[in-house]
Structure 1
Amino acid sequence: MPENVYIAIDSDALHAKSKVYVGRALARKGVGDLDEYQLWASLALELLGKAALARKHPSLVVDPTHWQSMFVAAGINVTTDVKTIAAKTLFERLTHLVPRFDKTVQKFCQDIAERRNAELHSADLPFRTMRLDAWEARYWHACDTILHQMGSSLEKWLGAADAKAPRQLLEEAANALDAAVKIRVEAAKERFGALKKSERERLAAEADLREPHHQVELFKGRYDEIWVESCPACKCRAFMTGEQSSEEISEERDEYAIWEIVDREFLGEEFRCPTCDLMLMGSDEIDASGLSYIHEDQQEREMEYEPDYGND
C-alpha cells in the first residue's frame, strides 16, 4: 500500500466522510425530510464503497484513464485534481471484492445512484416519488454487506445508539425475506406434488439428462460458471450460476506433471429449476432456501511456464 496516498482516495478518509454523510442522512430523516435523507444516504453509500475498494488498494478507486490520478494512487502526488471512478464502475467492482455484494445488491446501489444524479442534475424529483419502504431496508443491507467485508458493522459506522433502528430494520427485512422464500419453495413443492406420479417420474427423468453447459438461456445474467444443485422444492436436478471469487493451485500434483489442479470457488447469484420453475435471485434468497450459495470445484488445466531467456 502506498505510504502517502492523497486524502481524496485514502480509505480511512473516505470512511470517515461516509460516517459524516450518513449522520446527516439520519438527521434529515429525524425531522421528516425524506428527500434529503435519501440524498445524503446515497452519497454515504458511494463513499463507503470507495473506502472498501481503497482499503484493498487506492488504484481501485481512481479513473484509470487519468494518468495523474494513477500516480497519486501509487503514492506520487503529482496533482490535487484526483479523478475517481463513476458509481456504476464502483458497484461493479464491489461484486468482485465483497462476497454478498451480488447482482441484486449491485442493481439496487446503481438505481439509488441514478436517482441521486437525476435529483442533482435535472428538474426531476425522483426521491420525492420513492416510498421509504421501497428502498430503506435494502439500503441498510447494502451498507451492512460492505461494512462486514471491511471488518466493521452498522453499530460501529453509525454509533451504537443510531444503529438500533437500521439494525432492527435489517432484522425485519431478513425475516420477511426468509418467510417469503420459504413460501415460494413450499408453493413450488405443492405444485409439483399435485402432479400424477407418472408425470413426476417423467419430469425427474428428463431433469437427470440436463447438463449445466446447456442451461445458459435459463439465466438472466451472464456468469462465470453454471453448476448442478438439487432443487429444494421438487428435488430434481436444477442449476445455479455465479461469479468466481477465488482460485488456488492445488498442492496435489506431481513434480513433473504438465497439468495442474486448480481449486476454484464461486458465489451463487441465480438459481433456476426447469422442472418446477422455482427461481431464487441473489445470495440472500439462495441462503434462505436452505441451499449454499458457495460452490467449490476443481479444474485440471495445462501448466504455464515462463520462457527461458539467454539459454540459446
Structure 2
Amino acid sequence: MKKTLKPGETPATWDPEALWGKVLRYSETMLSRKEIPWEQAFWSSLLLEHLARAALANVHPTLLAETGKAGWSSQLHALGLPIKESKFSPRSISVSEVFNRLKELFADFTPEDAAFCSAHMNLRNTEVHTGEAAYDDRPPDTWQPKFYKSCTVLLATMGLELKDILTPDEVAVAEQLIAADSDKSSAAVKGDVEAHKKVWQGKPADERANLVQAANAWATKQTGHRVDCPACGSRSLVFGEPVGAIDVTLEDNMVVERQEYLPSAFECVACDLKISGLSRLVAVELGNRFSSKSEFYPEDYYATEDPDWGAFEEDNNEPF
C-alpha cells in the first residue's frame, strides 16, 4: 500500500533528544546545589520529570500528547503533521500520567517507583504554587536513594546509565544509597532506637541532665559530624568515609579545603546507642552526607617547605 501522508519532523515539544538536553542541564544545576539542600531537591524534581518524559517520548512522542477533551490535534503535532485548529497550542499529558504510562510499559519501573516519583512532583508543585516551603523538611537522605533508583530504571529504558547524568564520584555515592535503601533488614534499627529511647526516658531527670552534659562535651566538632541522637536527643556523632576529591576554593583571602563524607557509623555516649552501616543510618534519617572544612593562609598553603605547619582546626559540620 502507498502512504499518502507521512509524519514530519518531531517538534522540540516532545522530541526525546530535546528533553534529554534539559535533563543534562538540570543535572548539572542539581549537582552544584549540594550545599543548599532545598534547592538541590527542587532541581532534582525538574530533572526527574524531563527524564521521565524523555523515556516515554523515546518509545514514541505521541505518548506525551494530550487527547481527551482537547481532541487529537496535539497528537498530530507530535507526528509533525499540519494543524488546522486555530490558535493551536500543544498540550502534554500530566506528569502523573507520564509515570502511569511508564509503569505499564516497563516492568522494571515498579508501582513503588511511580509512587515516589509522583510524590516528588507533588512536593515540587507545593513549592512552586503555594507559600509552603515544601523542601525545607526534606533532607537528602529522605529522597536521594529512591530518586537515584528511579533514575537508574528510566535511564536503562533508553540504554543509558547514571554515569550519563552524574559525575563519577556522585555515581559511586548513588549506587551505595540505592543498595542501602534496598536493604530491608535495616528497618530493624528502628527497634533499637525505640529500645534505647525507652531506657533513656526511664532514667532519673538529674542522671539524664548529667549524661547530656557529658555527651555535649564529648561530641566535639573535631571528632566527627555532630547530630542529635534519634533516641535521647543528645549531641552525638556520625562518622563517615571520604567520597570524591577535595574541593579547594579561595574565600575571604583564605584557602578553604572541603572533603565530602558518606556516613558509615553513629555513636551517642549519653544513651549508648550505636549504629553501623549506611543502610541502617538511612533508615533512621542519619544518612545525610557531610563535609569537613579546613582553612589555610595562602602563603602557607602554597609553601613548598615545612609541610607540617599548623592549620586551622577542622570543622566537620557542613551538611549537604
TM band (smaller chain): 0.5 to 0.7
1:37 aligns with 2:45: no
Larger CA Rg, structure 1 vs 2 = 2
Structure 1 contact 25–37 (Cα < 8 Å) conserved = yes
In structure 2, which of residues 87, 98, 101 is the aligned counterpart of residue 90 of structure 1? 98
Q: Percent identity?
A: 28
For 2:175 and 2:8, the matched residues in 1 are separated by 35
- Map of 1:12 onto structure 2: 17
> Are the structure 2 counterparts of residues 62 and 21 from structure 1 closer, same or farther at C-alpha, using a change threshold of 3 Å?
same
- Map of 1:150 onto structure 2: 158
Secondary structure of 1:28's partner?
coil
Question: Which aligned pairs between 1:105-184 and structure 2 lie closer than 5 A?
Answer: 105-174=113-182, 176-177=183-184, 179-180=185-186
Cα RMSD after superposing both structures: 2.3
- Map of 1:54 onto structure 2: 57
- Map of 2:75 onto structure 1: 70
Secondary structure of 1:75's partner?
coil
1:26 aligns with 2:31: yes
The one-letter amino acid of 2:130's match is S
For 1:157 and 1:126, the matched residues in 2 are separated by 25
The one-letter amino acid of 1:58's match is P
For 2:39 and 2:144, the matched residues in 1 are separated by 13
> Are the structure 2 counterparts of residues 74 and 169 from structure 1 closer, same or farther at C-alpha, using a change threshold of 3 Å?
same
State the Cα deviation string for residues 143-193 of structure 1 (Å, max 9, x = none).
Answer: 10111121111012224454232233223333x23x459x8xxxxxxxxxx
State the Cα deviation string for residues 105-129 of structure 1 (Å, max 9, x = none).
Answer: 1111110100100000000111111
Structure 1 contact 25–36 (Cα < 8 Å) conserved = yes
Secondary structure of 1:93's partner?
helix
- If the length of structure 2 is used for normalisation, what is the TM-score? 0.52
For 1:122 and 1:6, the matched residues in 2 are separated by 32
The one-letter amino acid of 1:42's match is S
The alpha carbon displacement at 1:138 in A equals: 0.5
For 1:153 and 1:3, the matched residues in 2 are separated by 30
For 1:26 and 1:161, the matched residues in 2 are separated by 11
Give the gaps of 5 or more residues in structure 1: 184-312
For 1:164 and 1:3, the matched residues in 2 are separated by 42
The one-letter amino acid of 1:97's match is L
> How many residues matched?
179
Give the gaps of 5 or more residues in structure 2: 1-5, 189-320
State the Cα deviation string for residues 182-205 of structure 1 (Å, max 9, x = none).
Answer: x8xxxxxxxxxxxxxxxxxxxxxx
> Are the structure 2 counterparts of residues 96 and 162 from structure 1 closer, same or farther at C-alpha, using a change threshold of 3 Å?
same
For 2:171 and 2:13, the matched residues in 1 are separated by 27
Secondary structure of 1:8's partner?
coil
Structure 2 contact 33–39 (Cα < 8 Å) conserved = yes
The alpha carbon displacement at 1:19 in A equals: 1.5
> Are the structure 2 counterparts of residues 64 and 134 from structure 1 closer, same or farther at C-alpha, using a change threshold of 3 Å?
same
